[in-house]
Structure 1
Amino acid sequence: MLADLDRSIGVIQGDPVAVREHSAADAGSDLTDADRARAMLTVATTQRQAIVEAIRRIEEGAYGRCVDCERTVPEGRLEARPEAARCVQCQGKRERRR
């Protein structure tokens, strides 16, 4: 997962190969594309950080335990979201606070 995210981040951050002239419509489209790329980069970077933290928890022997309540994170949750740091209850509380 980490290698895939690193490749995706690299593609999103890639510099344009050529500079082209823009019409007014192209400029608006490019702004939308830039906003979309920025949003994708934010999501990918956040997910990458979660994976790095999960790897750290594996190395420390804490993987599979909720970082808030220390209860066991259900196996099904870890299968669906291997980077999950919290049990469903604690994750729900965290999301409601936002």
Structure 2
Amino acid sequence: MNAATARVRLESMLAELDRSIGVLRGDPLTAWDRSAGDAGSVLTDADRNRAMLEAATQQRRSVLEALRRLDDGLYGLCADCGSPVPEGRLEARPEAARCVQCQAKRERRR
């Protein structure tokens, strides 16, 4: 993927994540005026909302890091081994910082 295409895709992802994070940061507990029987579902919704917010925030960090790598001329190179990240991986995950092998190693360590 060339740098211009990568930048457009990453900036579009960033804008979408910012919109999603804004929506998710809304007050999920405004439904407390429902009946007491609904209180459990409100907590479940709040937990789900919190998990989605954390995931979106992490993905936003990854996109910002990818934009930084693009600015530094390192976009498309694995952050661990320095080898090129496969084109198909960047098409699927423009924010990818690692080749498939290094990403798999990282996930196994977790």
TM score, norm. by length of structure 2: 0.84
In the TM superposition, residue 21 of structure 1 has moved relative to its aligned partner by: 1.9
Match for residue 37 of structure 1? 49
Q: In structure 1, the residue corresponding to 2:33 is in which secondary structure?
A: coil
Counterpart residue identity of residue 30, structure 1: V
- Residue 80 of structure 1 aligns with which residue? 92
2:3 aligned residue: none
Q: Which runs of 4+ in 1 moved over 6 A?
A: none
Greater relative CO, 1 or 2 (CA 8 Å, sep 6+)? 2
- 1:21–1:55 Cα change, 3 Å: same
Match of 2:9 in 1: none
Q: Which has the higher helix share?
A: 2
Aligned counterpart, 1:51:
63
Q: Name the % identity.
A: 70
Aligned length: 97
Aligned equivalents of 2:90, 2:42: Cα separation in 1: 38
Normalising by structure 1, we get a TM-score of 0.93
Distance 1:15 1:67 in 2: 37
> What does the per-residue CA deviation read over 1:3-39, in whole Å, with 9 as the maximum and x for residues that have no partner?
00000000000136x6652322211010000000000
* Amino acid paired to 1:76: G
Q: What 5-or-longer segments of structure 1 have no aligned partner?
A: none
Q: Gapped runs of 5+ residues in structure 2?
A: 1-12
